[in-house]
Structure 1
Amino acid sequence: MRLSITREVAIPDPVKLERLRRAPEFGPKILFFSGGSALKDACRELVAFSHNSIHIITPFDSGGSSAILRQAFAMPAVGDFRNRLMALADQSLTGNPEIYDLFAHRLDKKASAGELDLELKSLALGRHHLIRRVPDPMRKILRNHCRAFMGLMPAGFNLRGASVGNLVLTAGYLDSRRQFDTVIYLFSKLVGAQGVVRPVVNKNLHLAARLAGGEVVIGQHLLTGKEAPVLTQRIEKLWLTRDLSDPEPVTATVRPKIAQRIAEADLICYPIGSFYSSLVANLLPSGVGRAVAANPCPKVYVPNTGSDPELVGLSLTDQVRVLMGYLNADHDRIEPGRVLGFVLVDAKNGVYPGGLEALALRKLGVAVIDCPLVTKQSAPLLDPGLLAQALASLT
């Protein structure tokens, strides 16, 4: 027999938060569909309440140093995984602050190829000041990965601006026969990650979008407004493609192990971040929507309060419709509320495109949860601590 029990919760709930703070190792499994760095600080706050959060990350980044690695090795992007692993890292472990500094280090964009090769060699030999600070055995593991990357690096590879963390993860990925989960598991243990990080798919795919005017744009880097002009037309459709030169759609299916992670979640969160390239991108693989609908836990959308170039032409209500559309793509008979039940906002201090249309949202089967999320210090963005407290209270 299965029963559905409704209960009232306070947000934030100081009693629950104190209980979770005393034993975060037994904390709730809050699952995030995300990518990028927008959620990084909130994740650092969340570990105070739970060491069991689940982070399903997009591997479709096609900009910056990730693009160079992807082109050279025909692989998924690793940068967002590095960011999330370090956000969840146990900062009390000896050597973790030093690993964080090493992983965040970027090689000089203005250095010559010879100088860059020498710096990478100094990392592999353990002479670089950043790797000397890392205690053994972690130092040996990182040195070995730097050395492995040197051996794998094709002639003429551009190291300018490369993230050391990305190089290390790439070496681990290639050394583990391109098993993404294996290298993420290894480095999760290395840094004592207080949460689970997994790619939504382990494939070398890219994003493609059709704009309102009919133009097709291929590549995540052309959507975010960071490496290309900001979009002036709304995105009408997003899909996966195999190559940056070919918009032909391809089908990806969520892996059973990821579907199982979704099934285990105590709360599913569609969080802040780039709306299409970080959030919707995670929902594209076939089976994600079905897995979400099958889990009776609460599902909450946390919309952006800052500027997101990918949201041009979209009100908050439009965003909810888009999310539900992609989540229901697997099955058009999924009941409203099975894939999204709540929108978490700060009506007083948050700024939302088109305002808060509570009635329109209710007609979509979505309730508005209004609580303090923005402070004077964080405005116009959400305060990471308040967001973590609100999500933990909802479980």
Structure 2
Amino acid sequence: MFFSGGSALRDISQHLPSITRNSVHMVTPFDGGGSSQLLRDALDIPAVGDLRSRLVTLAEPGPAADFMAHRLPKTDASGAEIAQLRRLSHPLLRAIPGPTRQILATDLDTALRHLPPAFDFSNASIGNLVIAGGWLAQGGPLTTVLARLSRVLQVRGTLRAVSDANLHIGAELRDGRVLHSQRLLTGKEVAPLDSPITRLFLSDGTSELPASAAPLGAVNQNLIAKAELICFAPGSLYTSLVASLLPSGTGRAIAASAVPKVYLPALGHDPEALGHTLADRVDALLSPLRQDAGPLPATAFLSHVICDQRQPLDDCDEVSRRHQIPCLRLQLADPTSTRYDPARITALLSRMAAPSSCPTAPHLR
């Protein structure tokens, strides 16, 4: 089972079906930027961008997945693609076999009919529009929409939103500022943060909400209970990972599980982790889990922190001293890459999920 955002786990997710089609992916619906936010503003729906990204990654390759992955041009003076969408004559749609094409076309048409005439389609994701149309047609929840599309796209795994709530995330910074949107935290659409994040919370866009505003559903709790391994996956520290742990009940469900629980910190620069050591990142992950489950030891939520061998040894030692968790340094990425090697990661997690096969620090460091 993976807790993560949408695109951060793309390479690993693409490799997973070669070893299993039973992986479970818990993804946040709280995105507040890009084309997802435009749809949220226009249709009053949860964010679908991260969910669409993982849906496409896990889908059986073919015309339907290609259609869902397609983005419209950032500039389209003639409006040709938009016109094709409205006529349901887009060439990528027409390449899809009949029954599947009908389902996707119906959801797409529903979204287009509900959008205002002046809606900005620049760089719009067709997959986002399809999911939005499914939400509108069925009146939600995301659980139902994703299950239906997973069957249509022959998704090789289980994709779940961590919550069906139509909410945002907010953050408190060390300098006292409080921000109420994901887009203000990522450093992609506005300038990167100049003060570290100290706390993440659920928001209605203007005010902080309790974790109970987005409860973890019974199906999600059951999936956590049945997982053979829980992985806190690479990605932006707060908006991808910590955000997925905010719904109430998440910490209790994870603490109740006795399986290996692994944190794979992101490689490369993460503007959301400004001022954070590796041990601080572990603190950030543990914070919402302890708020939910109580002041349990770190080992209730994490059994291992596993990072690439380029991570300084002192950083790993600090994790072990502060949290009493093994921190292992392994060759998990090419020396010239800022991404984990999917084959190495999936092989490692498969071994750890097997009983009596958890790695230990002495022979893997």
TM-score w.r.t. structure 1 length? Answer: 0.84
Alpha-carbon separation, structure 2, partners of 1:158 and 1:113: 14
Alpha-carbon separation, structure 2, partners of 1:114 and 1:380: 37
- Contact 1:42/1:384, CA 8 A, preserved across alignment: yes
Partner of 2:338: 380
Decide which of 127, 140, 152 is 1:190's aligned counterpart: 152
CA deviation after TM superposition for structure 1 residue 331, in Å: 3.0
Alpha-carbon separation, structure 2, partners of 1:217 and 1:365: 33
Q: How does 1:209-228 map to 2 (within 5 A)?
A: 209-228=171-190
Alpha-carbon separation, structure 1, partners of 2:322 and 2:272: 25
Partner of 2:327: 368
One-letter code of the match for 1:200? V
- Contact 1:208/1:239, CA 8 A, preserved across alignment: yes
SS in 1 for 2:93: helix
Partner of 2:278: 316
| CA 1:266–1:145: 2 relative to 1, 3 Å | same
- Contact 2:43/2:114, CA 8 A, preserved across alignment: no
One-letter code of the match for 1:394? M
Alpha-carbon separation, structure 2, partners of 1:376 and 1:331: 39
Alpha-carbon separation, structure 1, partners of 2:108 and 2:293: 46
- Contact 1:300/1:343, CA 8 A, preserved across alignment: yes
Higher relative contact order (CA 8 A, sep 6+): 1
When the two chains are superposed, the root-mean-square deviation of aligned CA atoms in Å is 1.8
- Structure 1: tracts of 5 or more residues without a match: 1-30, 92-96
- Contact 1:200/1:254, CA 8 A, preserved across alignment: yes
CA deviation after TM superposition for structure 1 residue 336, in Å: 3.0
Partner of 1:101: 66
- Contact 1:75/1:203, CA 8 A, preserved across alignment: no
CA deviation after TM superposition for structure 1 residue 186, in Å: 1.0
- Contact 1:66/1:78, CA 8 A, preserved across alignment: yes
SS in 2 for 1:233: coil
- Contact 2:35/2:123, CA 8 A, preserved across alignment: yes
Alpha-carbon separation, structure 2, partners of 1:214 and 1:191: 45
Give 1 or 2: higher helix fraction: 2
CA deviation after TM superposition for structure 1 residue 111, in Å: 2.4
SS in 1 for 2:179: strand
| CA 1:113–1:289: 2 relative to 1, 3 Å | farther
Decide which of 69, 72, 79 is 2:39's aligned counterpart: 69
Alpha-carbon separation, structure 2, partners of 1:151 and 1:269: 40
Q: Does 1:121 align with 2:86?
A: yes
- Contact 2:319/2:327, CA 8 A, preserved across alignment: no
Q: Does 1:78 align with 2:48?
A: yes
Partner of 1:171: 133
Q: How does 1:290-369 map to 2 (within 5 A)?
A: 290-347=252-309, 350-351=310-311, 355-358=314-317, 360-369=319-328
Alpha-carbon separation, structure 1, partners of 2:83 and 2:322: 62
> Could you report, residue by residue, the CA deviation over 1:308-362 in whole angstroms, capped at 9, with x for unpaired residues?
1101000001111222222111233423311111011222xx346x952325424
Partner of 2:59: 89
Q: How does 1:140-159 map to 2 (within 5 A)?
A: 140-159=102-121
| CA 1:376–1:335: 2 relative to 1, 3 Å | closer
Partner of 2:359: none
Alpha-carbon separation, structure 2, partners of 1:132 and 1:386: 38
Q: Does 1:389 align with 2:347?
A: yes
Partner of 1:266: 228
- Contact 1:43/1:388, CA 8 A, preserved across alignment: no
CA deviation after TM superposition for structure 1 residue 137, in Å: 1.6
Q: Does 1:57 align with 2:27?
A: yes
TM-score w.r.t. structure 2 length? Answer: 0.91
Runs of 4+ aligned structure 1 residues displaced above 4 Å come to 112-117
Alpha-carbon separation, structure 2, partners of 1:177 and 1:148: 12
Alpha-carbon separation, structure 2, partners of 1:323 and 1:373: 21
Partner of 1:13: none
Alpha-carbon separation, structure 2, partners of 1:63 and 1:223: 10
Q: Does 1:232 align with 2:191?
A: no
Alpha-carbon separation, structure 1, partners of 2:163 and 2:266: 25
> Could you report, residue by residue, the CA deviation over 1:190-247 in whole angstroms, capped at 9, with x for unpaired residues?
111111111111011011111111111111111111111111211011101112xx13
SS in 2 for 1:141: helix
Partner of 2:251: 289
- Contact 1:341/1:365, CA 8 A, preserved across alignment: no
Aligned length in residues? 351
CA deviation after TM superposition for structure 1 residue 155, in Å: 3.2
- Structure 2: tracts of 5 or more residues without a match: 354-365
Alpha-carbon separation, structure 1, partners of 2:78 and 2:45: 23
- Contact 2:167/2:204, CA 8 A, preserved across alignment: yes
Alpha-carbon separation, structure 1, partners of 2:272 and 2:260: 26
- Contact 2:279/2:322, CA 8 A, preserved across alignment: no
Q: Does 1:34 align with 2:4?
A: yes
Alpha-carbon separation, structure 1, partners of 2:266 and 2:204: 29
SS in 2 for 1:392: helix
CA deviation after TM superposition for structure 1 residue 176, in Å: 1.2
